[in-house]
């Protein structure tokens, strides 16, 4: 039996299965030993490295295309720079994760700011001078969109439900929400400034939470010192990396900002829109936000590259697996002539400064309706230095303030205390006075408080107010007191109590308690209300308590002007502040934009009459789009939005005004083509047009122009002549007067001349408003006619070339990086008119007579280029200066360029004619750069023309 057992064992040993079994056992043993080593002996090491080493797919953006002018001058380009990015790589529990991530962000921010670099700050919450959170948005709709995104709603309408009202959230409410445990758990140990920065980064990180391996850029164009410090602290700053980027740079930005626009991180709305058109954008992409940058996004945006890599726990690349290079975007050439654009801006600013210089007087003025010109009291200039934030009020009370600033602040503080105490007394007395019974100054303070409660803070719910309510009518008529109105408003539920009670407080229903809380709010908020403070400064300046010398010295105290010891000493010693400030305006050291007085703005358009190409599209004032590109400087953005000269507004394409007498060419063409006029027919100007009531008068009334034909009517801009034209156009077949009939005939020719639709330029433009009211007055450019300057430019371009109505354009061509033509923009002819040659001859000759013997004779006397043009003024507010317009083309015999200049509240069309003249001089080389860029205001030489 033993023998059999050994034979059995021997047979097994000789079996192939035994050998195979031994091999299997050995392999299994090796495997088990290896598993034991990996999981038990070195498990922690391998686990850590397994988690922190990963394959990643990295996208790289293609370089954005360059923007050139028509002659190849670079307007927008890209500069290589470094950026700091962060990715959420924390794998701890939520509680620890928030704490660690916030610490990493805070340390990164400290490194960036300590080296003089700035964060990308597109977060619309800032700290005001009172260390309070406030929104920095430019509109309420922008605020609501931000709240929609913050609270994760699909639409603004979802912000308010029966359970909550999120649409009224304050900046403080938003910060409490973001800093709370449910969101980013940002500790109170951070001060408010740090909380905003951390919340901003965390919020931007959250936008990429559903996209794997997408970093969030937190600083752009940083210094080498910042880069070195980040690399040095790399071990502690998990998820923070340094990347190369291109920064968008705009040359001579102030001249082109409104045309080029700027770039910025794509918004959620843009992301959806661009990807719906077949794009492959991600939430960190930089795209065009406005202007040509936005319009030409699909051409300028490069094609993304893609790399597959392995990285370790510090983000260091271990291996490159594959790579597809990014491709640069296409280059865009504009129709603009950069030199002409810059010259036009300079000419316009110099003329505005000259007009201001000539209008400032050293006495008080009360505007009246019968004033031909409206002077500017120098005290208005002093006040605007404060009112338009040329100097910073908040610096007056600092320890580092000058003696002059401290002196001004002491006067202000004493006055402010008295005013606020009076306000409190007026709101709590049982015998308050009606608004109309108060002195002007006191009326101003209470009116401001109402505006503050209703428009700024939303405490008075204007939507709830019944405008027909008797008590409300008394308030608008100023026959009751503010106290009476507020008590009544509480009783009618017109007060939003959630704005004045903290969420932890009981919402009182008793009228007196609500009113007392409201008064408490007013009393506590006025000391830090900048707008209210400015009202106080106004009366301090106008009463002489703060002198013009003191205000002028502030310009040196706060480095608005380069310090001049002799000038400062002279001002302190009592030299003429009036002469000083006029000289600063003349030298354009204080600009029209800074003062924001009438006039402080204007626009100039120059077009190629044979193509519709826009050679210059000038709007004044402007801004530095470099500060908005890539990331918006929130402080600068707020400054722009609070600037009373409205620098963000494109005056050439968005400011609509009545065209004044420049409309008369259209009326002349309508009368001639409809058969009511002939070139030789004369109409006698009787001064007052009595065929309609009320009866309008010619601008020359009580004088008149006598018997004149259509060309002479254009020459002298005779209102009476064109009243008659408008009247005759309105006579129906039965001999009755129909204003609508006359308006329809005018519009028929307005369509053909390009005055009823947008001009065609590829940037934001308001729709033209062709008159629908009063055909007689409309025939001289009044009625409800209202056009942007770019639309007048298209109109005069069509008149200049005898009826070829081109769409205006800013685009010339698109070229790829290899120089291949991608797209050539050809002239787009909307229509060609079929007017008789005699009509064109009469109109063109009339426009030439304007220059040689009419309203612009003095301006163009002896001018080397034969020009045809038409002046116009338009009154829209009898207590403000008229708008001034001038349209022209040159040369008269064979037009090459057409021009249109508009200066809102510019007073005289003679002033706009001078801008046209000087622009033509530069275009034809009759003015050198040295002569133009002298930095001196251009004092008007033309008399005031109200044609």
Domain limit, last residue, from 581, 596, 611: 596
Residue 24 lies in a domain: yes
400 & 529 share domain: yes
Residue 233 lies in a domain: no
- The residue with tokens 């998990």 is 238
**How many H-runs (helices) and E-runs (strands) does the chain carry?**
35, 27
549 & 453 share domain: yes
Q: What secondary structure does DSSP assign to 822-883, as a single string?
A: EEE----EEEE----HHHHHHHHHHHHHHHHTSTTHHHHTT-SS--EEEEEEE-S-TTSPPE
930 pLDDT tier (thresholds 50, 70, 90): very high
Residues 6 or more apart whose CB falls under 8 angstroms from that of 151 comprise 159, 166, 177
**90-104, 317-331, 476-490, 577-591: which range is least confident on average?**
90-104
412 & 496 share domain: yes
- The residue with tokens 């299997």 is 24
pLDDT at residue 520 in the model: 95
Domain total in the chain: 3
- At 684, is the secondary structure helix, strand, or coil? strand
User: Is residue 615 a contact partner of residue 340, using CB atoms and an 8 Å limit?
Assistant: yes
Domain limit, last residue, from 553, 580, 596: 596
584 & 668 share domain: no
29 pLDDT tier (thresholds 50, 70, 90): confident
From the CB of residue 759, how many other CB atoms can be counted at a distance below 10 Å?
28
Query: Closest Cα to residue 753, out of 696, 705, 801?
Result: 801
Residue 120 lies in a domain: no
> If 0-12 CB within 10 Å is exposed, 13-18 middle and 19+ buried, where does residue 157 land?
exposed
pLDDT at residue 137 in the model: 80
539 & 668 share domain: no
Convert the pLDDT of each residue in 360-372 to its tens digit.
999 998 877 777 7
127 pLDDT tier (thresholds 50, 70, 90): confident
Residue 310 has pLDDT above 80, yes or no: no
338 pLDDT tier (thresholds 50, 70, 90): very high
pLDDT at residue 486 in the model: 96
Convert the pLDDT of each residue in 814-864 to its tens digit.
999 999 999 999 999 999 999 999 999 999 999 999 999 999 999 999 999
**170-179, 427-436, 658-667: which range is least confident on average?**
170-179
User: Is residue 917 a contact partner of residue 863, using CB atoms and an 8 Å limit?
Assistant: yes
Residue 425 has pLDDT above 80, yes or no: yes
Rounded-to-integer distance, Cα 50 and Cα 47, Å:
5
Rounded percentage of the chain residues whose pLDDT exceeds 90: 66
Residue 212 has pLDDT above 70, yes or no: no
319 pLDDT tier (thresholds 50, 70, 90): confident
pLDDT at residue 604 in the model: 99
Ramachandran category for residue 153: left, alpha or beta (phi over 0 → left; psi -120 to 50 → alpha): beta
Convert the pLDDT of each residue in 514-533 to its tens digit.
999 999 999 999 999 999 99
User: Is residue 871 a contact partner of residue 912, using CB atoms and an 8 Å limit?
Assistant: yes
Render the burial of 571-583: b for 16+ CB within 10 Å, e for the rest: beeeebbbebbbe
Residue 120 has pLDDT above 60, yes or no: yes
Partnered with residue 573 across adjacent β-strands are none
Rounded-to-integer distance, Cα 177 and Cα 172, Å:
9
Residue 392 lies in a domain: yes
In eight-state DSSP terms, residue 480 is: S
Rounded-to-integer distance, Cα 719 and Cα 685, Å:
9
591 & 712 share domain: no
Rounded-to-integer distance, Cα 221 and Cα 117, Å:
8
Domain limit, last residue, from 579, 596, 613: 596
Structure tokens belonging to residue 396 = 């007056």
Query: What integer is the mean pLDDT of 208-231?
Result: 81
Radius of gyration in angstroms for the set of CA atoms belonging to the chain, rounded to a whole number = 35
Query: What integer is the mean pLDDT of 297-301?
Result: 96
pLDDT at residue 629 in the model: 87
User: Is residue 622 a contact partner of residue 257, using CB atoms and an 8 Å limit?
Assistant: yes
- At 241, is the secondary structure helix, strand, or coil? strand
Residue 450 lies in a domain: yes
pLDDT at residue 219 in the model: 87
Q: What secondary structure does DSSP assign to 393-452, as a single string?
A: GGGTTSTT--HHHHHHHHHHHHHHHHHHHHHHHHHH-SSPPPGGGS-HHHHHHHHHHHHI
- The structure's pTM equals 0.87
Structure tokens belonging to residue 455 = 């428009």
Residue 635 lies in a domain: no
User: Is residue 814 a contact partner of residue 332, using CB atoms and an 8 Å limit?
Assistant: yes
Rounded-to-integer distance, Cα 653 and Cα 342, Å:
18
Rounded-to-integer distance, Cα 769 and Cα 763, Å:
18
pLDDT at residue 508 in the model: 53
pLDDT at residue 675 in the model: 97
Domain residue limits at 684: 664-758+768-777
Convert the pLDDT of each residue in 229-264 to its tens digit.
999 988 888 889 898 888 899 999 999 999 999 998
pLDDT at residue 18 in the model: 65
Residue 633 has pLDDT above 90, yes or no: no
Rounded to 10 degrees, the C-alpha dihedral 605/603/300/122 comes to: -170
**87-96, 331-340, 377-386, 594-603: which range is least confident on average?**
87-96
Render the burial of 846-856: b for 16+ CB within 10 Å, e for the rest: bbbbbbbebbb
400 & 518 share domain: yes
How far the first Cα of the chain sits from its last, in Å, is 138
Query: What integer is the mean pLDDT of 220-227?
Result: 90
- At 705, is the secondary structure helix, strand, or coil? coil
The answer to whether the Cα torsion of 349, 254, 595, 399 is positive or negative is negative
532 & 436 share domain: yes
Residues 6 or more apart whose CB falls under 8 angstroms from that of 623 comprise 253, 254, 257, 640, 647, 648
Residue 33 has pLDDT above 90, yes or no: no
Residue 187 has pLDDT above 70, yes or no: yes
Residue 534 has pLDDT above 80, yes or no: yes
Residue 825 lies in a domain: no
Ramachandran category for residue 915: left, alpha or beta (phi over 0 → left; psi -120 to 50 → alpha): alpha
Render the burial of 625-662: b for 16+ CB within 10 Å, e for the rest: bbbbbbbbbbeebbebeebebbbbebbbbbbbbbbbbb
558 & 690 share domain: no
Query: What integer is the mean pLDDT of 404-425?
Result: 98
Q: Strand 54-60 and strand 74-86: pairing?
A: unpaired
Render the burial of 325-356: b for 16+ CB within 10 Å, e for the rest: ebebbbbbbbbbbbebbbbbbbbbbbbbbbbb
559 & 669 share domain: no
pLDDT at residue 59 in the model: 73
**CA separation, residue 429 to residues 216, 484, 742, 813, 821 (Å):** 57, 11, 60, 71, 77
Convert the pLDDT of each residue in 707-765 to its tens digit.
999 999 999 999 999 999 999 999 999 999 999 999 999 999 999 999 999 999 999 99
12 pLDDT tier (thresholds 50, 70, 90): low
Structure tokens belonging to residue 762 = 């590829």
Beta strands in 448-536 (DSSP E): none
Query: What integer is the mean pLDDT of 118-127?
Result: 84
446 pLDDT tier (thresholds 50, 70, 90): very high
Query: What integer is the mean pLDDT of 392-411?
Result: 96
**123-127, 208-212, 725-729, 812-816: which range is least confident on average?**
208-212
Residues 6 or more apart whose CB falls under 8 angstroms from that of 711 comprise 679, 842, 843, 845, 846, 849
User: Is residue 887 a contact partner of residue 796, using CB atoms and an 8 Å limit?
Assistant: yes
Residue 287 has pLDDT above 60, yes or no: yes
Convert the pLDDT of each residue in 635-672 to its tens digit.
888 899 999 999 999 999 999 999 999 999 999 999 99
Residue 711 lies in a domain: yes
668 & 592 share domain: no
pLDDT at residue 121 in the model: 80
540 & 454 share domain: yes
As a whole number, the mean pLDDT across the chain is 91
């Amino acid at each position: 039996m033993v023998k059999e057992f050994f034979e059995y064992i021997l047979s097994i040993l000789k079996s192939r299965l035994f050998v195979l079994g031994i091999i299997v056992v050995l392999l299994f043993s090796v495997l088990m030993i290896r598993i034991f080593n990996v999981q038990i002996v070195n498990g922690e090491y391998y686990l850590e490295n397994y988690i922190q080493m990963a394959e990643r797919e990295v996208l790289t953006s293609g370089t954005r295309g360059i923007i050139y002018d028509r002659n190849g001058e670079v307007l927008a380009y890209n500069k290589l720079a470094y950026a700091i990015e962060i990715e959420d790589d924390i794998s701890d529990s939520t509680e620890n994760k928030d704490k660690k991530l916030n610490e990493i962000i805070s340390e990164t921010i400290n490194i960036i700011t300590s080296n003089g670099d700035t964060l990308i700050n597109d977060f619309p919450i800032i700290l005001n001078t009172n260390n309070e959170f406030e929104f920095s948005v430019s509109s309420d709709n922008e605020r609501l969109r931000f709240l929609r995104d913050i609270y994760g709603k699909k639409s603004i309408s979802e912000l308010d439900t029966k359970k909550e009202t999120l649409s009224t959230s304050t900046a403080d409410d938003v910060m409490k929400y973001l800093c709370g445990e449910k969101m980013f758990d940002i500790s109170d140990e951070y001060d408010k400034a740090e909380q905003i920065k951390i919340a901003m980064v965390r919020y931007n990180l959250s936008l990429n939470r559903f996209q794997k391996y997408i970093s969030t850029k937190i600083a752009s164009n940083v210094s080498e010192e910042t880069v070195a410090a980040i690399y040095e602290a790399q071990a502690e700053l998990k998820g923070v990396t340094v990347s190369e980027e291109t920064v968008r740079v705009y040359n001579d930005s102030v001249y082109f900002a409104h045309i080029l626009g700027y770039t910025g991180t794509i918004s959620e709305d843009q992301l959806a829109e661009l990807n719906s058109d077949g794009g492959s954008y991600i939430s960190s992409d930089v795209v065009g936000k406005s202007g040509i940058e936005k319009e030409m996004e699909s051409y300028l945006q490069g094609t993304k590259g893609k790399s597959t890599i392995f990285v370790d726990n510090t983000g260091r690349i271990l291996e490159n697996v594959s790579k597809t290079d990014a491709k640069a975007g296409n280059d865009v050439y504009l129709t603009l002539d950069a030199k002409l654009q810059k010259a036009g801006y300079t000419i316009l600013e110099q003329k505005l400064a000259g007009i201001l210089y000539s209008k400032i007087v050293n006495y008080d003025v009360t505007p009246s309706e019968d004033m031909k010109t409206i002077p500017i009291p120098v005290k208005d200039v002093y006040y605007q230095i404060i009112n338009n934030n040329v100097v910073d009020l908040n610096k007056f009370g600092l320890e580092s303030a000058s003696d002059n600033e401290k002196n001004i602040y002491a006067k202000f503080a004493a006055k402010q205390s008295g005013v606020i105490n009076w306000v409190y007394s007026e709101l709590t007395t049982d015998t308050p006075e009606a608004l109309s019974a108060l002195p002007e100054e006191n009326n101003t303070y209470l009116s401001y408080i109402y505006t503050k409660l209703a428009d700024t803070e939303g405490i008075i719910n204007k939507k709830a107010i019944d405008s027909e309510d008797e008590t409300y009518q008394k308030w608008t008529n100023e026959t009751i007191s503010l106290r009476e109105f507020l008590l009544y408003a509480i009783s009618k539920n017109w007060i939003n109590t959630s704005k004045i009670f903290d969420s932890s407080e009981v919402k009182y229903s008793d009228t007196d308690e609500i009113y007392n809380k409201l008064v408490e709010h007013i009393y506590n908020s006025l000391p830090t209300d900048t707008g209210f403070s400015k009202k106080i400064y106004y009366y301090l300046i106008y009463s002489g308590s703060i002198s013009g010398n003191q205000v002028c010295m502030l310009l040196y105290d706060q480095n608005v002007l380069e310090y001049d010891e002799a000038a400062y000493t002279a001002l302190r010693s009592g030299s003429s502040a009036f002469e000083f400030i006029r000289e600063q305006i003349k030298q354009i050291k204080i600009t029209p934009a800074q003062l924001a007085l009438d006039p402080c703005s204007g626009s100039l358009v120059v077009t190629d009459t044979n193509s519709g190409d826009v050679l210059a599209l000038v709007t004044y004032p402007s801004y530095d789009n470099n500060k908005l590109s890539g990331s918006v400087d929130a402080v600068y953005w707020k400054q722009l939005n609070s600037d009373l000269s409205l620098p963000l507004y494109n005056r050439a394409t968005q400011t609509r005004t009545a065209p004044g007498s420049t409309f008369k060419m259209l009326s002349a063409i309508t009368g001639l083509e409809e058969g009511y006029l002939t070139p030789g027919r004369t109409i006698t100007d009787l001064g007052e047009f009595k065929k309609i009531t009320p009866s309008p008068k010619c601008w020359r009334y009580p004088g008149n122009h006598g018997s004149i034909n259509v060309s002479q009517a254009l020459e002298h801009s005779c209102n009476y002549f064109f009243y008659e034209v408008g009247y005759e156009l309105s006579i129906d077949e039965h001999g009755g007067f129909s204003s609508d009939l006359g308006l329809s005939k005018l519009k028929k020719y307005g369509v053909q001349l390009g005055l009823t639709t947008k001009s065609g330029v590829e940037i934001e433009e308001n729709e033209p408003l062709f008159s629908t009211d009063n055909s007689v007055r409309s025939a001289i450019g009044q009625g409800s006619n209202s056009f942007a300057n770019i639309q007048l430019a298209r109109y005069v371009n069509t008149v200049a070339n005898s009826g070829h109505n081109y769409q205006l354009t800013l685009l010339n061509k698109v070229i790829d990086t290899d120089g291949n033509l991608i797209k050539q923009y050809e002239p787009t002819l909307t229509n060609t008119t079929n007017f008789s040659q005699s009509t064109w001859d009469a109109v063109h000759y009339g426009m030439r007579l304007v220059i040689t013997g009419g309203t612009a004779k003095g301006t163009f006397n002896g001018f080397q280029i034969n020009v045809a043009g038409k002046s116009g003024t338009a009154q829209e507010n009898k207590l403000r200066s008229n708008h001034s317009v001038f349209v022209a083309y040159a040369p008269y015999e064979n037009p090459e360029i057409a021009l249109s200049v508009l200066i809102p509240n510019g007073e005289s069309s003679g002033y706009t004619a001078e801008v046209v003249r000087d622009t033509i001089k530069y275009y034809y080389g009759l003015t050198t750069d040295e002569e133009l860029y002298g930095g001196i205001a251009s004092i008007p030489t033309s008399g005031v023309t109200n044609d």
